[in-house]
Chains A and B, each alone.
Chain A
Amino acid sequence: MLVRQLAKTYRLGRVDVDVLRGVDLSVKAGEFVAIIGASGSGKSTLLHLMGLLDRPTEGSVSFRGQDIHRLSARRRNHLRNRAFGFVFQFYHLLPELRIVDNVLLPAMVSSSTLGWFSHRRRLRAAAVESLTLLGLGHRLGHRPAELSGGERQRVAIARALVNSPEVLLADEPTGNLDATSGSAILDVLATLNKERGQTVVMVTHDPKVAAYAHRTVELRDGRLRAATG
C-alpha cells in the first residue's frame, strides 16, 4: 500500500484548514505499522483516506498498483468490503443487531440473498469461531448495549476480519479502554499479525501502544516522519 503526497483540506466557513499537507507512506504486506501524533494532528483523517471512507484533496493512495480513489463507486465499495477491515475508536456497532449478526454484516453486504442462504452456515460458523477466539463465544445472542467497551471492541475486530481483508485499519482501538482490556486487544492484533501475516495499520497517540508495531511513524504538521524516541 502506497500513500503519496496525500493532502486533505477542510473548509470551515472562509478558513481552509490544511490537516494533511503531503503525506507519504508505504506499507508492505504483513507489516504492522503504527501512526502516532498529537490529538487533532490528522491521524484519523489519514486512516479514513487509506480505507476509502473519505476523499483526499490531493495525492493518491495506491493499493495493488491502483489509485483507489480513482476507481468507480462500485469498485470502491468492493474494496471497503473485501480489502479493508476497519476498527473504530468508538466501536460503531449496530445497536439493533445481535453480536453475531454485527460480525456477519460485511459478509451479508457482499452476498446476494441466494448466496447468503447457501453460505449462511459456513459464514456463521466462521463468525462464531472468531468470536470464540476473542473470548466472546458465550455472548453471541447479546446486543452491543449489553457488552463492556473492551468486549465491544473485540466484536468490532471480529467484524473487521470476517471477510479476511488484506489490510486491517485500526483507529485508536484501545483509546476508550483501561490498560488491561487495552493490552488484550493489542495482543490480539499482534497475534493476528504474527500468525496470519495480517497487515495492520494502527493509529494511536500513545507510544506504549505503538510499541506493539514493527514500525512507528509520526504525523506532525500534516506530514509523516519516522518516529523520534
Chain B
Amino acid sequence: MYKLFLTLRYLLHRRITIVPILAVMLCVAMDLIVASVMGGFLDEVRSAARGLFGDVIVSDESLSGFGYYDTWTDADGKTHDGLIQYIRRQKEVAQATPVIETFGMIRLPEQKGFSKPVNVLGIVPDQYAQVTDYQKSLYYQNSPNWTGLPSFDQVPDPVTGKPVPLQPPGATTAAPKGLVLGVRVLWPKRDEKGGFPREELRPGTEPVQLTVAPIRASGMADTQGAVTRNFYLVDTSHTRIQQIDQMACYVPFRDLQEYLEMGASARPDKDGFLSPARATRVLVKTAPGYTTDQCRDAVARAVKEWKRDRLTRLFGAPDAARQKMQYYEPFTWQPPDYVVRAGDTIHLRFPGQADLNQDLAVADDGSIRPLKLDAAIRVAGLPLAQVRAMLAMRYEPVAHGGGFASVVLNPNFGVQAKVWEEANEKYFSAIENQRFIALLMVGVVSLTAIALVWVIFVMIVVEKTKDIGIVKSVGGSAGGVMAIFLIWAGLIGLIGTVLGGALGSLFVAHIMGIEQWLSHLLHTELWDPSAYLFETIPARFRWNEMLTIGGGAVLAAMLGALLPAFRAGRMSPVDALRWE
C-alpha cells in the first residue's frame, strides 16, 4: 500500500520528475508519428495496389505468358473453355479479365518531342474497369457526361461530353486505335497550380508512336520482330502512384497480343499443333459478399481444375506436338533426367483405362503410394526415367496393353492464383522492412530516454537515501522499496505516453497543415511529391500502435529505473540513515 502512496507523493512533489516525463513524451510522440506515417504509407500503397491490380491475380510470372487463358479452338474446329471461363463459373467471382504486360517505347507528338520507356498494358478496357479502379484514374472517360465504361475507340463529344467514335483529323486508317498514358508520362512535374493541364489535351487528336518487341514462347525478346504502330491519345490516367503515373501506357489487348505475336496460330503446323493465344495475367474481381481470400481459393480451385483438364488433353497428344505444347501449358513438364523431389506430383495416365489414372504426390519422406499396389515406393532422388521404369514394372499385371504415360509437375511452377498482396509481396515486404528500420532507428533514439531515466533515478535514489532508510527501519522490504522506484518510473512512462500520444496524434492529424506552414516559413517545398509515391503525406492513427508504443515506453522507463531501484532495495537501513 505504502508503495503507491509514497510514489504518488514523490511524483507530485519532486520537480525533477518532469524531465524524464518530457523525454518519454517526446519519444512517444516521435515513435507515434513515424509509425503513423510509415503505416499510412503502407496502407495507401496497399489500397492503391489493390485498385490497380484487382483482388486476385493469376499469372505464371513470365513475360512470355501462358496459353489457353480464354476459349480456344482445336484442330478439329471444336471450341473449348479457357481459364477465364473456369474462373467465371465460380460464384465468388464477379469478373475476370486477361492482361498482357510488356515494356515498350513511345514517341510523343513533335511539340513534346522525346521518346520514353513505358510499361505497356494490353487491356480489355470495359472488363478491366470492372476489375480495377482504372476508370477512376481517367479524366474524360470518368466525367459525369461520359456514359458507360472506358473505351479505346471512343472520345467525348466536344459539346456534350458523351462518347462518340474516335475520328482523328487526317487519319488514314479505317479503324484508328486509341491509347491512354499516365499523366506524368506527359507532364513529369505539376504546374504552378499543383495540377496537370489535362483539359488542354484534346482527346483523339494527339498521335503517339508505340514500339514493342515480341517475347517468344521460350521467354526471349525478339528485337528483329519489333513493331512500331500509331495510336491516338484518348485519355490520361492519374492513379496518384508516382511510379505508375510516369510509366503507364494502356493499349487494346488484341492489338498488343498481335504485335507481340501472342495470338493463336491460324492453322496447325506439320505436327498438327495449333499454338494457343497467350496472356501474361488474368485479373479477378471478388463478387459482393465474399472476401478476397475466399475468391482466391475459388480461383485456385478453378486453376487446378483447368490444369487437370489440360493435363488429360496433353497425354492424348502425339509426342511431337506434346514437345511444343509444353511452352504454352500452365505447368512445367519435366524431362526424363529430372530428379524427383518431395513435393512433386507424378501424374499417371492409362489410355483406355481411366479408372487407373492417378496423381501421386511425393510425400515428405520421398515416397509415393500408388493406387492398387501394395507398398510405398521411394522415388525422391531418382531420375524421372527410372521412376517411370519402376512404375511400369509394377503396373504390368494390372494395366493391359498400351502402357502408360507419366509426367512430373513441380507445384512451385506454372500458373498460380494469388491475392493482390501476395502477388506484390516483394514490394510490400520492402516497404514493411523500411518501416521496421525506421521504427528501429526511432527506438534506438528512444534508448536515450531510457538512459535519461536511469541517470535521473540514480540521482533520485541518492537524494532519497535517507527516506529509504526510514522506510526500511519501519519494516519496508527490499522488494517494497524497489517497487516504489519502479512504480514511480512506470508512472513517468505512463504520463509521458499520455502526453506524447496526444502530441503525436495531434501532429499526425494536422500533418499536411504543419508541412504547409513549415514550407511557407522556410520558403521551400518540404514534401516533394515527385520524390515519393504519393502527393500528400500519408498518415493515420492506430490504437494498437499507440498501445504498443505506450507499453514499450512504460517498460523502457521501468527498465531505466531498474538498476537504481535494485540498489535502493538492497541498502541496509543503518547505512541509508547514516548517509549525508
Contact = CB atoms under 8 A, between A and B. Distances in A.
Interface residues of B, number: 26
Interface string A89-128: 0001111110001000110111111011000000000000
A105 B478 contact: no
Given A54-B574, A88-B577, A111-B1, A105 B474 contact: yes
B473 interface: yes
B7 to A, nearest CB: 11
B376 interface: no
Nearest to A106: B474
Contacts of B472: 53, 80
Of B1, B466, B475, chain A has the most CB atoms within 10 Å of the CB of B475
A77 B470 CA distance: 13
A78 interface: yes
A100 to B, nearest CB: 12
A159 interface: yes
Interface string A62-86: 0000000000011001111110001
A105 B574 contact: no
Contacts of B475: 77-82, 106, 109-110
B471 interface: yes
A115 B1 CA distance: 9
A88 B477 CA distance: 20
B1 A113 contact: yes
A115 B14 CA distance: 28
B523 interface: no
Contact of B4 (A53, A78, A110, A113): A113
Interface in A182-198: none
Contacts of A94: 6, 9, 467, 470-471
Interface in B2-29: 2, 4-6, 9-10, 13-14
Contacts of A101: 5, 9
A77 B572 CA distance: 12
A220 interface: no
A92 B1 contact: no
B104 interface: no
B574 A81 contact: no
Contacts of A4: none
B1 A112 contact: yes
13 contacts: A48-B573, A53-B577, A54-B572, A78-B475, A80-B475, A81-B475, A92-B470, A92-B473, A94-B470, A94-B471, A96-B13, A96-B14, A101-B9
Interface of B: 1-2, 4-6, 9-10, 13-14, 466-467, 469-478, 480, 572-574, 577
Interface of A: 48, 51, 53-55, 73-74, 77-82, 86, 88, 92-97, 101, 105-106, 108-113, 115-116, 159
Q: Which 7 A-B pairs have the closest CB atoms?
A: A81-B475, A108-B2, A116-B1, A106-B474, A80-B475, A53-B573, A54-B574
